[in-house]
Structure 1
Amino acid sequence: MRLGALALLGSLVGAMSASAADLAPVAPEPVAPVVAPVTWTGFYIGAGIGGRTNNTDWTTTTAFFPAFLGTRIPMPFRSAPNASVDSTDFRGSIYGGYNWQFAPTWVAGLEGDIGYAKNSGRISRIPGLTAIGASFAESELTTDGSVRARVGYLVTPSILLYATGGVAFQQIKNSTTCPADTFVCNPAVGTQSFHSSDTLVGYTIGAGAEAMIYDHWLVRAEYRFSDFGSNSFTAIPPTISTFGADAKTKVQTHNFGVGIAYKF
C-alpha cells in the first residue's frame, strides 16, 4: 500500500511539473521597425550646372538715309540682311520650389530658377549694310530665369519622371561696330559702336528625371527649350549725313544640366 501511494504521489508531482512548464510565458517574436514612407511634399532649394545653346537669328529690317531734315528714306541693302548668331556656353543656376505628392504616385509643384551663361556670337559684317570686313554685329545672352509648373509620375517611391513649363526671361545685348566710311558710320568720328539691351519674355517647356536620396536630397537631370520670339531695336542710330538701320533678333535657347537640392 505504501509503495503504491508513493508511486501515485510521484506521478501527480510529475504531471503538475509538466503543466507548469506548459504554462510558462513565451517570449514575443521581434517586430520589424516601421519605416516611414518616402514623401516628396515640401519646399526645396538647390543649384545646378550644365550648358546653354542659343539659336539667334539677326535680321536688319530697314536701312535708311535720314536726308531731308531727318525723314527716313529706305535704302536698298548692300549685303544679305539675315544672319545667324549661335553659340554654346557653360551655365550655372540656382532653383527652388514646392512639391505636393498626391494620388499617391503623382507629384505636382511650382518652381523658379535663375541662371547665367555668356552666349556671345559675332557676325563679320553688319547684315544688310556692309560686306565682310572690319564691321561686325554681335548678339550676347547673359542672365535668364523662369517660373514654371511641374507635374511628374513616381516610377518608384524615390524616382520621379516629370514635365515642366511656364514663363521664361532672357537678357540680351545686341551690338554693331563699324569703321568710318561714307555709307554707314560718321567718317568724321572714326570707328563707332552701338548697343541695345533688353529683357525678353517667352515660354519654356522641358522634361527631366529626379531621384530622392537620404530622405532630404534630390538629384536631377533636366532639359528645357525656350522661345522668346523677336525683339526690335535700332542697330545704328542715324545722323543727317549717314546711314541708319533698324533690326530684330529672334531668340531660342536650349538649357541642359544636372542639379542637387535639399528638401526641407
Structure 2
Amino acid sequence: MRAVRLNAILAASVASLALGSLAANAGGYTPPVVDAGVVAPVVETAPVGNWQGGYAGLTLGYGFGGDDDVGINGTTPGSLEMSGANAGIRLGYRWQRDRWVVGPELGFEGGNIDDSFSADGYDAESKVKNVLALRLKTGYVFENDIMVYGIAGVARGKVDYSVTGNGADIDDTYTKTGYIVGLGAEKMINDRWSVTGEYEYANFGKENLSDGTYETNATAKFHNLKVGVNFKF
C-alpha cells in the first residue's frame, strides 16, 4: 500500500513539472541571441576613366601681353603689345597608369597676334604668324571624366617684324625656336569626345635684326588662352 502511494506522488510530481514547462514555453520557441559584431559597409569605387590612346583636335585662342620694347641703335621709341586671335590643330597620344596620364602632342597655330606703333619718327610692327610646337602634357584624373595637366614643350615661331623711319629700314620675316609652358583641363563628353581649356606662355627669345646700319632686337612672346575639342581614336 505504501509503494502504491509513493508511485502516485512521483507521478503527480512529474506531471506538475511537465505542465510548468509547457506553460513557460506557451509563447513559442525563442532562439538564442548571437552577437554578430559590427559589419563594415561595402564601398564600391568608381572605375577611372579611360584616357589612353591617340587623339586629334581643334583649338581657338586669344593671345595677349606680348611686350616687345623696340630699340634702335640705343634709343627706345616705343613698345609693341602684341595680341590677337589664333586657331590651331593638334595630334597627340596618351599613356595612362591608374590616374596619371602622360603623352606628346604636336600642334600648329596660326593667326594675327600683332601690334604696331608710330613714335619719334619710327614706325614699328610685329606679328606672330604661326607657331609649330611639340608639347609634353602630364595630367592627373580627378573625377574620372575630368583631368588637369601641365604643359611644357618646344616651339618654332614665324614672325614678321619691321622698323622704319629716321633712316632705318628693317623689314624682315624670321623663324625662332623657343619654349611653351602652361596649364590645362579636359572634360570627357563621352567615350570619344572631350573639351579643353588651356593657358600657355610662349617665349621665342631674342632675334637681332639689321639693315646694315640700324639694328634692333626682336623679342616675340605672348600669353595665350585657348579652348578646344578633341576626338579620341
Indicate whether the TM-score tops 0.5: yes
CA positional deviation for 1:81:
2.7
Match of 1:120 in 2: 114
Structure 1 moving runs of 4+ over 4 Å: none
Letter in 2 for 1:250: T
Q: TM-score, length-normalised on structure 1?
A: 0.66
- Structure 1 partner of 2:71: 59
Give the Å deviation of 1:155. Answer: 0.3
SS in 1 for 2:220: strand
Distance 1:37 1:87, change over 3 A: closer
Work out the CA distance in 2 between the residues paired with 1:57 and 1:226.
17
State the match for 2:231 in structure 1. Answer: 262
- 1:166 is aligned to 2:161: no
User: Which residue of structure 1 lines up, in the alignment, with residue 179 of structure 2?
Assistant: 203
With normalisation by structure 2, the TM-score equals 0.74
1:69-124 superposed Cα distances (whole Å, 9 cap, x missing partner): xxxxxxxx6xx33531013211111111001110x011111111100121222231
The higher relative CO (CA closer than 8 Å, separation ≥ 6) is in: 1
- Report how many residues are paired: 187
Say if 2:123 is the partner of 1:136. Answer: yes
Match of 1:213 among 162, 182, 189: 189
Q: 2:161, 2:49 → 1: CA distance?
A: 49
Larger radius of gyration: 2
- Quote the RMSD (CA, aligned, Å): 2.0
Q: Deviation at 1:145? A: 2.0
Q: Which runs of 5+ in 2 are unaligned?
A: 1-45
CA shift at 1:142, angstroms?
0.9
Which residue does the alignment assign to 1:188?
none
Match of residue 144 from structure 2? 157
Indicate the SS of the match to 2:142.
strand
Alignment of 1:7-26 (within 5 A): none
Aligned to 1:42: 53
Sequence identity (%): 28
Q: Are the aligned partners of 1:42 and 1:99 in contact in 2 as well (CA < 8 Å)?
A: yes
Secondary structure of 2:214 counterpart: strand
Report the 3-state secondary structure (helix = DSSP H, G, I; strand = E; otherwise coil) of the residue aligned with 1:215: coil
Which residue identity is paired with 1:184? G
Contact 1:46–1:96 (CA<8 Å) still a contact in 2? yes
Distance 1:173 1:202, change over 3 A: same
Partner of 1:175: 162
Question: Given the alignment, which residue of 167, 173, 194 partners 1:184?
Answer: 167
State the alpha-carbon separation in 1 of the partners of residues 114 and 48 from structure 2.
Answer: 48
Instruction: Give the 3-state SS of the residue equivalent to 1:124 in structure 2.
Output: strand
Whole-angstrom distance in 1 between the partners of 2:82 and 2:204: 16
* Alpha-carbon spacing, 1:226–1:84, altered in 2? closer, same or farther (3 Å): same
Counterpart contact for 2:145–2:187, Cα < 8 Å: yes
Q: SS in structure 2 opposite 1:39?
A: coil
